[in-house]
Amino acid sequence: MIAALVALATALRVAWVLAVPSRPVGDFALYLESAAHLLEHGAFDPAFIYMPGYVVVLAGVQALGGGVLAAKLLGAVVGGLGAWPIAGLGMRLFAWTERGPGPSAVRRGRDREPSSHESQLVDRRAGVIAGALYAVWPAGIAVASVTGTDMPAGVLLVTAVYQLVRWREERPWRAAILFGLVSGLAATVRAVAAPLAALSLVYWLASGTRPARAAALAAAGCAVAFLVLLPWGIRNQRRYGELFFTDSHGGHTALVGANPDTDGVYSRSLNLLFWKGTGFKLFDEPHRASDRAAYDLAAAWARFEPAYAAGLVVAKADRLLGSERPLLYWPVYRQGVLGGGRRAWFDAHRAPIEALVEAFWYALVALSVGGVVLAGARRRWPALALLLFPLALAALYATFFSEWRYHLAIVVFLFPFAGAALAEATEVRRPRALRPLVAAALAVALLFAGWPWLVAAGTRLRDRHRWAVTVCDVNQRSRLCAWKPAQPAPGRGLSPVHGVWDGLGLTLPAGESAVAAALD
């Protein structure tokens, strides 16, 4: 059955790639160009500041004579393979009921494989539904025609987690080693995966492993991930004179995410702002010094107005998780990505396409929340422990910088919970199953009511404490000036200061003519 789900997921993504020939732009074109440089010169471009894994794979595709289409087809196959770990997790994490010759009973004991035939069927149904939902995921299919790192990283991360679950009972050391191996590979694609390797400790403990053994198994996984990243660290030692295992642009992305002039969205004006204020240029040499300066500046901006920074975290979280409609931007609706009749067709059908994408997303969220509540009601601690992986990703992105496509590596972890909720819903004929289902429905209602309230609260917080950064001359030196009102706006009043594309904007009530400036 899992093979059939993988085949379905792969076929849908390959068909989309062939039918929608999106042109790589922005970062997606940069990966292809970096791969071509690596293949031609045997080394990364001097300006290369990203993780190497995806670019190395693209260079291999080009070495075999493949072009953009080959790279996209490889990505479609990788995306299709994601159905395997997702279905596997659903089949192994959510065996909630067990029937013998007597009445059915709710299992509340240790996490073990179901002993009865019917338990295995319930377990299998959760996995099949999870894999099928992933296979037909509209946004996941749409991004298959984009040569990006987000979907490969997500598939690798969920595969790493599946290795923990798959081998935990039979071969725990194999589980730890395979988890570390695949986690390390995920980190070579996106650096944000590197710190997640330590989260396996929580899973081992939730599975009933003794603390000392759990620590040893988690340490083994981290060590293997470290070994996978070690060649990259050695390269960095030779290139920059220091040993590190991540990329060299984390500070730059944090700075973009903290920019008050744009509410944490990238703008070219930030390049000039950063250069004039620090003497460094974004993404230019010297990479390490520039990256540290960007980190320091991002931290200073967060400290300057903490209330605004808190509201900005909410905005970035909403950008990350609030919708899947924007995922259509890169493969379909960005200027220059598609042309001719195909673009005209998508434009003519944009409303129903976006409605389909959004409806699937909201249904997936509702089912996933239901699955989480049901896991709690059934005391499935190992399943709940795995929630730390998507939650940690969401927290990192919301704190530093988020784009809509970053959401892909988070969403892949939701499908097993959604599959479990649907599988359990088919068992409502048992009276005692109704109670957790009602609790799940209440949790879903609370989320859908609470999320807009949270987003609106974050907007009000930003509006009241809004401030701006400009370049100004102080004692014949260019430096960054941070501007905010002398006093916060009363009540729900709006700050008169706001950022504009070139720095500072003022909206003063009648009779007021000045604000106080604070120099950063």
Neighbours of 341 (CB within 10 A): 8
Mind listing the pLDDT tens digit of every residue in the chain (520 residues)? 889 999 999 999 999 999 999 999 888 899 999 999 999 999 998 888 999 999 999 999 999 999 999 999 999 999 999 999 999 999 988 765 444 333 333 333 344 444 444 445 546 888 999 999 999 999 999 999 998 899 999 999 999 999 999 999 889 999 999 999 999 999 999 999 999 999 999 999 999 999 999 999 999 999 999 999 999 999 999 999 999 999 988 899 999 999 998 898 888 888 888 888 888 887 788 899 999 999 999 999 999 999 999 999 999 999 999 999 999 999 999 988 888 889 999 999 999 999 999 999 999 999 999 999 988 988 889 999 999 999 999 999 999 999 999 999 999 999 999 999 988 887 655 545 677 778 888 999 999 999 999 999 999 999 999 999 988 877 778 788 888 887 776 766 788 888 876 667 777 665 555 444 444 4
pTM score > 0.85 for this model?
A: yes
CA-based angle 77:78:82, to the nearest 5? 110
Residue 216: CB atoms within 10 A of its CB come to 16
Three-class SS state of 189: helix
In 3-state terms, what secondary structure has residue 472?
strand
Phi/psi at 201 (5° precision):
-55, -40
Q: Specify whether the CB–CB gap between 478 and 503 falls below 8 A.
A: no
Query: Shortest CA distance to 483 belongs to which of 509, 520, 518?
Result: 518
